[in-house]
């Protein structure tokens, strides 16, 4: 099991949260706490950069859905960048690729 590291940076489109490590049952609450601490403004689009994510279980997927719900409640959007293949497959099977804007990398998500 890998630790989870979350680094938040500002971009013109809104905050970018870089997720490194395992987004699993043990670590998903960390993402939720970080999300709760964000101040989101209408029209912003927070981005979850998943390029460093090494594992994601259903708790991680649930945390991503919670991020989207929280952003929408603030009048913002939520995008995913650099989604690893193992997670992209799950998102597609569950139809979540239809509700999240998906970008190949952080730069295109914040352009």
Q: What predicted TM-score, i.e. pTM, was given to this entire model? A: 0.94
Q: What is the mean pLDDT of residues 90-101?
A: 96
**Residue 88 belongs to domain with CATH number:** 3.30.750.24
What Cα–Cα distance (Å) separates residue 2 from each residue in 51, 61, 65, 98? 15, 17, 22, 29
pLDDT, tens digit, 9 for 90 and up, residues 60-88: 999 999 999 999 999 999 999 999 999 99
Report the number of distinct structural domains present in the chain: 1
pLDDT, tens digit, 9 for 90 and up, residues 27-45: 999 999 998 898 899 999 9
Residue 11, domain extent: 4-109
Cβ–Cβ < 8 Å for 76, 99: no
């Amino acid at each position: 099991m890998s630790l989870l590291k979350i680094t938040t940076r500002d971009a013109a489109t809104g905050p970018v949260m870089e997720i490194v490590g395992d987004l699993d049952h043990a670590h998903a609450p960390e993402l939720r706490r970080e999300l709760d601490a964000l101040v989101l403004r209408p029209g912003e689009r927070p981005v979850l950069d998943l390029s460093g994510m090494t594992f994601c279980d259903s708790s991680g997927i649930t945390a991503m859905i919670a991020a989207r719900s929280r952003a929408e409640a603030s009048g913002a959007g939520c995008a995913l960048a650099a989604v690893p293949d193992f997670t992209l497959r799950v998102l597609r099977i569950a139809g979540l690729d239809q509700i999240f804007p998906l970008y190949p990398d952080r730069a295109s998500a914040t352009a």
